[in-house]
A and B are shown apart, each in its own frame.
Chain A
Amino acid sequence: MEYTHTLEPAREAPPAASLIVERLSAWYGARQALRGVSLEIAPGQVTAVIGPSGCGKSTLIRCLNRLHEVAPGTRVEGRVLLNGEDVYAPGVDPVLVRRRVGMVFQRPNPFPTMSIFDNVAAGLRLNGLASGYELERIVIHSLHQAALWEEVEHKLRQPGTALSGGQQQRLCIARALAVQPDVLLLDEPTGALDPVATLKIEELLRQLKERYTIAIVTHNMQQAARVSDYTAFLLAGEDRVGELVEYGPTGELFTNPRDPRTEAYITGRFG
C-alpha cells in the first residue's frame, strides 16, 4: 500500500488551549501526594515540571487528564480548567478529557500486535473519528507532525515494535496527536532513550508547541532548560506531600530562582 496524498493539515490550527490548575490536591488512598497546586500552563508553550523523586510531578500531570483516578482508591480535589471548562465537573466524560489531553509515557508503548499505521489509527478507529481516506490522511499527517514520516513511509505495515526506541516514542507521539488533542502531556518521554533520540524528541516538542499546549515531566534539568518556556518546581516537604515551590519563565528560574529551595535543588545541593 502506497500513501501519496499531499500533506494537508487535518484542520485549521485553532489557538492553543489554555490549561489552568486551581488548588489541586491528590491522594492515593489515605496518603496525600499533592497539596494545593495552582498554576496556569501557558497556551502554545512548553511547560516543564521538575522536582526530586516522589514530589508528585507525575501525579500532577496525571490529574490534568484524569488519569490519576484510574488507580483504585485515588482522589482529587480542586479544579483543572481546559479552555475554561473544569474537567472534573460533574457529567464530564473522562475518556473525552483524555482524548483532548493526550499523554506520552516514559517507556514507548506501541500496541505490540499492530502495524505502524494501525498504531496511529487505533485511537481514531476506536472512537469512530475517521475512516477511509480521512483516516489515512490524519495518520500520515500525524506521522509528519511526529517527525517520523520519512523514516517509516515505506514500512507502514511493519509492526510498531520493530522500530528503534526513539522511533517508537515518536510513534506514540503520533498516536497521541492523531486524535487531535488540545494538550500534550509527556511523562519523562526521553527517560529510556539515547542522547540522539532524546534531542530529536526535544526538537519535535519545539515544533509541536506552535499548535499544542505541552507539559513535560522530566528528571533532567538540562532538558527542562533546553526545551521548556516555563518551569514548575515541585517539592515534597517533611510530610512527603508535594507542593508547588516556584513557577516561572525557564530562563529566570534557572539563572535566578526566587526560592532558596529551588536554588538548592537545581544546583544539586539536594535531591
Chain B
Amino acid sequence: MWRGRASFDRALGGLHDEVLVLGSMVDKALERSIEALRRLDQQAARDIIHNDLTINQKRFEIEEQAIELIATQQPLARDLRTIVAVLHIIVELERIGDYAEGIAKIALLHGDQPLLKPLIDVPRMADKARDMLRRSLSAFIEHDAQAAKQIAAEDDEVDALYDQVYRELLTYMLNDPRTIDRATWLLWVAHNLERSADRVTNICERVVYEVTGRMEEMNVSKY
C-alpha cells in the first residue's frame, strides 16, 4: 500500500526548480557585474544593484515555500535533509548576489576615472567562481556528493588567482601611491569573487549533507 506523496514530491521538485532559478539569477548578476566593471558602465551597474532586490525577494519566497513544506508535510530523512539544504543554499546564493552588487558598486565608485589596469585575472576568477556555482547546483539536483567534493576542492584555484591579483595590485600601490584608491577597489572586487567561491564551497557541503547525512567542512579558506 502506498501513501499518497505525489503532491509532496511535486512540491519538492518545485523547490528544486526555484533554487535553480535563484542560482541562475545570481550567476547572471556576477557575469553582468564583471562586464559593468570592465566597461565602467554606470547604468548597467545601477541595474545590477536594483536587481539585487529581486534576488533577495526570490530567496524569501523559496524560504517561505520550504517552511510551509516543513509545517504541512513534516518531512523526514532525505526529504528533511533536502529542505534543510535548500534553506542553507538559498542564503549562500543570496550572499553571492550581494557580492555581485558589491562589484557593481565598485564600478560606480570609479566615476570618471578609468580602471587602474585592464582586467585579466579578475574575469578569470569570476569565470571560475561561476563555473563552480553552476556545477554545484547541478550536483545538488543530481544528488552527486562526489561532484560536490570535487567542486569544493577547486576553490584553491580561485584562492591562487586572488593571491596573484593581490600581489600585482600591491606592486602598483608601492610603485605609485596615487593608485592606492583604484587598486584597493580592484582588490575588493577580487575579494568579493574569492568570497563567492567560498560560498559555493558551502553549497557543496550542503549537497554532501543532503546525500549522505554527514556534515563535513570541505575547504577551510585561508582568507
* Shortest Cβ distance from residue B120 to the other chain A in the assembled complex, whole angstroms: 45
Question: If A255-B213, A256-B213 touch, does A263 touch B1 (CB 8 Å cutoff)?
Answer: no
* Interface flags, A236-270, vs B, CB<8A=1, else 0: 00000000000000000011110000110011111
Contact among A222, A266, A270, A271 with B77 in the assembled complex (CB-CB below 8 Å)? A266
A208 within 8 A of B: no
Question: If A255-B81, A256-B81, A256-B213 touch, does A271 touch B3 (CB 8 Å cutoff)?
Answer: yes
Q: Which of under 10, 10 to 19, 20 to 34, or 35 or more describes the interface residues of B?
A: 10 to 19
Q: Would B2 and A269 count as touching, CB distance under 8 A?
A: yes
Contacts of A256 in B (CB 8 A): 77, 81, 212-214
Contacts of B213 in A (CB 8 A): 255-256
A197 within 8 A of B: no
Contacts of A268 in B (CB 8 A): 3, 5, 8
How many A-B residue pairs have C-beta atoms within 8 angstroms? Tell me: 39
Contacts of B81 in A (CB 8 A): 255-256
B79 within 8 A of A: yes
Contacts of A263 in B (CB 8 A): 77-78
* Shortest Cβ distance from residue B35 to the other chain A in the assembled complex, whole angstroms: 43
Q: Would B77 and A257 count as touching, CB distance under 8 A?
A: yes
B74 within 8 A of A: yes
B220 within 8 A of A: no
Contact among A221, A225, A255, A267 with B5 in the assembled complex (CB-CB below 8 Å)? A267
Contacts of B76 in A (CB 8 A): 221, 225, 254-255, 266-267
Bound CA–CA A255/B74 (angstroms): 12
Bound CA–CA A225/B81 (angstroms): 15
B80 within 8 A of A: yes
Q: Which B58-105 residues have C-beta < 8 A from chain A?
A: 74-81
Contacts of B79 in A (CB 8 A): 267
Question: If A269-B2, A271-B1 touch, does A254 touch B77 (CB 8 Å cutoff)?
Answer: yes
* Shortest Cβ distance from residue B85 to the other chain A in the assembled complex, whole angstroms: 12
Q: Would A254 and B80 count as touching, CB distance under 8 A?
A: yes
Question: If A255-B80, A255-B81, A256-B81 touch, does A270 touch B2 (CB 8 Å cutoff)?
Answer: yes
* Chain A residues within 8 Å of B, Cβ to Cβ: 221-222, 225, 254-257, 262-263, 266-271
A-B pairs with beta carbons under 8 Å apart, 25 shown: A254-B76, A254-B77, A254-B80, A255-B77, A255-B81, A255-B213, A256-B81, A256-B213, A256-B214, A262-B77, A266-B76, A266-B77, A267-B5, A267-B75, A267-B76, A267-B77, A267-B78, A267-B79, A268-B8, A269-B2, A269-B3, A270-B1, A270-B2, A271-B1, A271-B3
